[in-house]
Structure 1
Amino acid sequence: MVDSQNEWTQMPLEDCMEAIIDYRGKTPKKTSAGIPLVTAKIIKRGRIEEPAEFIAPSDYDDWMRRGIPEPGDVVLTTEAPLGEVAQLDERKIALAQRVITLRGKEHLLDNTFLKYLLISEPIQDKLKARASGTTVLGIKQSELRKVTLSFPPLPEQRAIASILGALDDKIELNRRMNATLESLARAIFKSWFVDFDPVKINAGQMPADSYDPTLLSLFPSTFQDSELGPIPEGWNVEPVGKHVVIKHGYAFKGEFFSKEPRRDVLLTPGNFAIGGGFKGDKLKYYEGPVEEEYILLPGDLLVTMTDLSKAGDTLGYPAFVPESLKYRYLHNQRLGRVFINDDSPVGAAFIHESFRTSRYRSHVLGTASGSTVKHSSPTRIRDHEIAVGTPEVHALFEERVSPLVEAITRNDRVSMRLGAIRDRLLPELLSGRLVVMNSKGTPEQLIA
């Protein structure tokens, strides 16, 4: 790479496009299953999140009359929010309102390059400059068509797209690996502490499969009745409050909230995924004084105390605080910080998984207050009852799950660094200040 600009072209977006597909003004009939519907709310941070809405296959041809999206097409949200970008893969999808599909002319504009170009700050600024609305910004197709794009020759576009794409591919691979690791941790918990499979194996009710003798030796071969139903003989039913302390965060003052990115970020229920887990969007920046006790550390366990939805979608769910290269996370009043008691046999992984079970979920919703906004409290959560085994069982669970948690953390750390590299390269490459000279090299060679 060298500092220069080489034969870049500038022209309006409409002149670069082979297809512009816009479904605004139409609302499809939605179903619980079928062909995934790509809506504006699931296009985030350069990717399409798992769809939660669908249309019937029998309605597809009638609905998609304005044009069929193709693999590689770029989707752009035009309102609520404006300017989120992603690229379609091989899956058959339907387009919802507030989403426009763009397809560059084959011999002029590479679609993957187009994705990164639309993500870049100069193009995002142009979109906002042509947008209308006060509370919610939106851009009309007529205005979008006028946005000027600047791009190098096609071979250089493809080389740039290859470099940035390789970084994002690795980040996406790490995300999928982490989802698999989290599923494995959840499966171990369910087997040991919900279904009590080791007891059933010891009783001859199911085959041993891959269960090792060490694990089986820590479980009895009989059940006992309890208020939770059958639990292993000798185990106890105890409130979570016997094992943890849950503390509210601080009511940070609104006068110090910032619309511009800052080092300090207040974590809110919006940073929790449905079902548990951390979400890195909807960051709330803060630039005021902070007491040390409200500074969160990587690995801290949090639960949500408030949810703005009627269904309480995230209420009571847990998340571990991630590491960050950019931010210092702060503990606000809508979240509970979970501390494991020193004399408790259970560990953080056990509590985290306990807070994701259906029985816990029923307890949280059943004890919640409020109608439009749902509230829980440390006391209500601590009243939730769990089945507690011997210290040896819980120690083995933490031993088995800890490597999974460490692998997730390691993958997140790698992804953060790759993301930082991508974020540094993107404006340099897309402005022409850095030009890819050796387009025959692999992305890894070029980055190195």
Structure 2
Amino acid sequence: MTFGNAFKSTDFSTRASDIRLLRGDNVAQGRLRWDGAKRFPATRLAEVVRYELRAGDVVIAMDRPWIAAGLKYAVVRESDLPCLLVQRVARLRAKGALDQGYLVALIGSRAFTDYVVGVQTGSAVPHISGGQIADFTLPSLPTLKEQRAIAATLGALDDKVESNRRAIDLLRRLAVASLRGAAREQRRVSDVAEVRKGLSYKGAGLTDSVSGLPMVNMGSAANFGWLKRTGFKYYKGEYKPRHIAPAGSLVVTGVEQTWRHEIIGWPLLVPSDVGDVLFTHHMLLVTFAPEHDWMRLPLWAHLYSPAARAKLESTIHGTTVATLPAGALSDLSFTVPSRESSAIAAADAMVRRAWALETESEHLSALRDTLLPELLSGRIRVPETVDVVQDVLNESESA
């Protein structure tokens, strides 16, 4: 196990060609995300070469190691390189009788997550130590051949989920580009839509996904725009019809607990397969007049533009948290294509395809999570799962 370096602010570089620094904030559930990553001069790599990561490394965030979406660990991929390990992130590499792919499966298991939840300390900033990670008791290891077979089976599902993630990101960017490229006429949000805040909910009304309605909240906002399905809360308390966002609605994050502007003012679209949802007072719903509803996607695309970002960010205020006034969104001007433009239908198709890939990934992840403890415990063997996994992957490829 290796721990990262305490890089200083004077070490940071602004050149995109320099080496990314992997901090705890960059560690998501199962993968790395590089939003707002700091960089280190490539010309000084020799000074810190011991902290250089390689493909296949497992990294674990040691501060806030577990969130609602799951354990904050990731596998370093070729596309992540080059990158350097920063303090408060642990790097794990298998040795001896343990295969690296099998180690990845162990770290992603429910047993390891439960262990971390049980040993983490600290109330304001929960954390774990290197010693606590090292104290995790490994189950009885099968042979290296069996470990590699298990890793390959689970890895095939993980690879498809990762492929879907890249496709979803590409589809989103293509939909935005097509709409912005076709935009011709300028409109004002307040002339075509109403903007309103959502439900100021009570903690006592929060419940599970079985008995409650899904509720869009700050945790539902992916960094820099898009709805994060793992961030839903579920609610069974009182609410009014105005607190409902219909499927397909455009929601904008109105509050952020940092001043990095990673979620505030960025747009979310409620997936059609999720159906109607509640939305909290931290979110802003844009409800179009029926005759102007076709402008929903053009406004969504415009909210990614530098012009929209500059306008909205100039209105953000607050002392302890950043807040976007509803009026700032109402006052925003945006450009739209003609109503008959093929770009609208094309963008809609791309967004719906992205949603379909998300639901597919949810099913693949659920299958992986079902198989994982069974394979690790030896209750089922790889040969029993190969055909099932292959059939699922073939079905997804043909969809």
TM category, shorter: 0.7 to 0.9
Q: Which residue of 316, 340, 350 maps to 1:404?
A: 350
2: CA distance, partners of 1:136 / 1:177: 34
8 A contact 2:265–2:312 mirrored in 1? yes
Cα 1:61–1:279 shift into 2, 3 Å: farther
Q: Which residue of 343, 351, 356 maps to 2:304?
A: 356
2: CA distance, partners of 1:435 / 1:305: 49
Is 1:305 matched with 2:259? Answer: no
SS of the residue corresponding to residue 360 of structure 2 reads helix
8 A contact 2:120–2:127 mirrored in 1? yes
Is 1:77 matched with 2:61? Answer: yes
CA RMSD of aligned residues (A): 3.1
* Cross-structure match for 1:279: 228
> How far off is 1:275 after superposition?
2.9
Q: Which residue of 44, 47, 53 maps to 1:62?
A: 47
> How far off is 1:296 after superposition?
4.1
8 A contact 1:40–1:99 mirrored in 2? yes
CA deviation map 1:331-379 (0-9, x unaligned): 1111112222112274321121122222222221223332442322333
1: CA distance, partners of 2:218 / 2:318: 16
Is 1:141 matched with 2:90? Answer: no
SS of the residue corresponding to residue 47 of structure 1 reads coil
* Cross-structure match for 2:14: 32
8 A contact 1:275–1:314 mirrored in 2? yes
CA deviation map 1:177-228 (0-9, x unaligned): 12111221222223222xx6xxxxxxxxxxxxxxxxxxxxxxxxxxxxxxxx
Cα 1:117–1:408 shift into 2, 3 Å: same
2: CA distance, partners of 1:297 / 1:159: 45
1: CA distance, partners of 2:123 / 2:200: 29
Cα 1:93–1:362 shift into 2, 3 Å: closer
Cα 1:315–1:139 shift into 2, 3 Å: closer
2: CA distance, partners of 1:414 / 1:334: 29
Q: Which amino acid aligns with 2:283?
A: L
> How far off is 1:388 after superposition?
4.9
Cα 1:447–1:100 shift into 2, 3 Å: same
* Cross-structure match for 1:89: 77
> How far off is 1:129 after superposition?
3.6
CA deviation map 1:392-428 (0-9, x unaligned): 34xx331232221222122122112112212222222
* Cross-structure match for 1:10: none
* Cross-structure match for 1:23: 4
SS of the residue corresponding to residue 264 of structure 2 reads coil
Q: Structure 2: any 5+ residue segments left out of the alignment?
A: 395-399
> How far off is 1:299 after superposition?
2.0
SS of the residue corresponding to residue 302 of structure 1 reads strand
1:277-426 alignment, distance < 5 Å: 277-286=226-235, 288-291=237-240, 294-322=243-271, 329-344=277-292, 346-388=294-336, 390-393=338-341, 396-426=342-372
SS of the residue corresponding to residue 46 of structure 1 reads coil
> How far off is 1:157 after superposition?
1.7
2: CA distance, partners of 1:314 / 1:375: 11
* Cross-structure match for 1:53: 38
2: CA distance, partners of 1:136 / 1:238: 45
TM superposition score normalised by structure 2:
0.84
Q: Which residue of 92, 100, 115 maps to 2:90?
A: 100
Q: Which amino acid aligns with 1:306?
A: V
CA deviation map 1:286-341 (0-9, x unaligned): 4545556535444221111222223533222211123678x985311111122221
Q: When you count helix as a share of all residues, which structure comes out higher?
A: 2
Q: Rg larger in 1 or in 2?
A: 1
